[in-house]
Amino acid sequence: MARRYDPERRQRIIDAAIRVVADQGIGGLSHRTVAAEADVPLGSTTYHFSTLDELTVAALRQANENGSAFFAERLDGGGDLAADVARAIGEWIARERRWVEVEYELYLAALRRPAMRPVAAEWGREFVERLTARTDPVTAKALVALVDGICLQVLLTGADYDEEYAREALSRVVRAP
């Protein structure tokens, strides 16, 4: 049988993995569930990603890239850094809450999957680098930690995002001596 040329298959498998995590959680992620979601033979998933860790790393890397691009568009200006970050968080959660949940679920999966840890760390480093263009490195790291905490609290509690609270908390970090 002739092999069908499908240059987008690898990307479709990654996209399917992200949809599986969105629908079933990280526990539902398997080569079989991803193959079914991507509508590809099971052998295609194992051809492109020999282990589940490889597939999960690829999904996390894509999630990181999407999150980085989102914040890059909103934080490259000047002005009030705390207000800009608070507004960006609000837009991110309001516009893409399901995607944010998937990103954090993949990010936190690195707690149990060491192969994912370097990729999980990339998100923080990239965000710190972006913020360092507008503040010092220590403040940038503290802002990233606070952003993660605020986002996780909103996602875990189902509460509405409070932009005013976030702006005030972020401002305190920015103003700290």
The whole-angstrom separation of Cα 128 and Cα 140 is 5
**Cβ proximity of 101 and 155 under 8 Å:** yes
**Cβ proximity of 20 and 28 under 8 Å:** yes
Where exactly does CATH 1.10.357.10 map onto the chain? 53-175
Query: Which CATH architecture describes the domain 53-175?
Result: Orthogonal Bundle (1.10)
Where exactly does CATH 1.10.10.60 map onto the chain? 7-50
The per-residue pLDDT string of the chain (177 residues; one tens digit each, 9 = 90 and over) reads 445 677 899 999 999 999 999 999 999 999 999 999 999 999 999 999 999 999 999 999 999 998 888 898 898 877 899 999 999 999 999 987 888 999 999 999 999 999 999 999 998 999 999 999 999 999 999 999 999 999 999 999 999 999 999 999 999 999 976
> Which of helix, strand or coil describes residue 25?
coil
The whole-angstrom separation of Cα 110 and Cα 61 is 12
Cβ partners under 8 Å of residue 31, min gap 6: 42, 45, 46, 49, 52, 55
Fold of 7-50: Arc Repressor Mutant, subunit A (1.10.10)
* DSSP annotation of 26: G
- Show the 3-state SS of 103-143: HHHHHHHCCCCHHHHHHHHHHHHHHHHHHHCCCCHHHHHHH
CA 151 to mean position of chain CA atoms: 11
Tell me the two tokens of residue 67. Answer: 């999150």
Closest CA to 146 of 77, 61, 79, 82: 82
